Amino acid sequence: MEVIKQVSTIRQRVQALRCSGKSIGFVPTMGALHEGHLQLLQASAQENDVTICSIFINPTQFNNPDDYKLYPRTLGQDTELLKTVGCNVLFAPSSEEIYPQQQPLLQFSFGALEDVMEGERRPGHFNGVATIVSKLFHLVQPHRAYFGQKDLQQVAIVRQLVHTLSFDLELVCYPTVREEDGLAMSSRNTRLNTEQRQVAPTLYKALKLAEAQLRKQPVAKTKAEVAAYLTSVHGVELEYFEIADPSTLQPVQDVRKVQEVALCIAAVVGPVRLIDNILVNLNEV
């Protein structure tokens, strides 16, 4: 596996690959790799001639400076792990390489898509996501880019970005990978202590409770029951629970009018803010 840290070098490498007719799969990450990342990398290795993984903890998408400072940094461990899953190139640039002129001035707006959930509670977050994803897509020029469903709103934002800016690539989204107790795999999970780790799966339990209740009662009552359930769990502070359209992420008020909904949740467990979601086909029994 080749490790590249310079923007100029990755440009040259990608140009050579494309000139030789190689298909490129790309998995952008912020490191602290887990099984969810590895699933994406393995899929890319199967579907493309060359797989490139980026590891870059992007400062522009953190609206909380402490969150950025505490984000897990495990580049050495990640590098060894990448060698086992068919990754051909690791692109691990510094902030100076990506943002040579400090804070970027370009601003993105995604309208109603970022006015809810994560966008509403993390001002500037998706502008930072769109900035780094645009930069990486330009540098890596992938034929396919792989993302996980856990970051459902981020996937919707990137899909809109690809459409609006006419990136010539296929966006591939894979289902969330979970621990045996249902907790969605996340790099942030490493910051949970033993007690917090035992509590964290209640987010998934809340989603499954909502799925069951939503088939037999109104949206408002289901949301109230989820809130009541999590309020009763010591160590979990619910930030939001939303029942939304999977494409637009706008709130759904009456599930009788739709076929599928996204159940989305965010909560703070100890020092860590966690998100999760599931898609529910309401026609399935």
Structure tokens given for 38: 């590895």
Is 37 annotated as catalytic?
A: yes
Positive or negative, the CA dihedral 271, 99, 3, 35 is positive
CA-to-CA distance for 144 and 142, rounded, in angstroms? 5
Catalytic one among 37, 125, 138, 143? 37
What single letter denotes the amino acid at residue 80?
E
Order across the sheet with 236-244: list the strands.
236-244, 260-269, 272-281
| Catalytic residue positions, numbered | 37
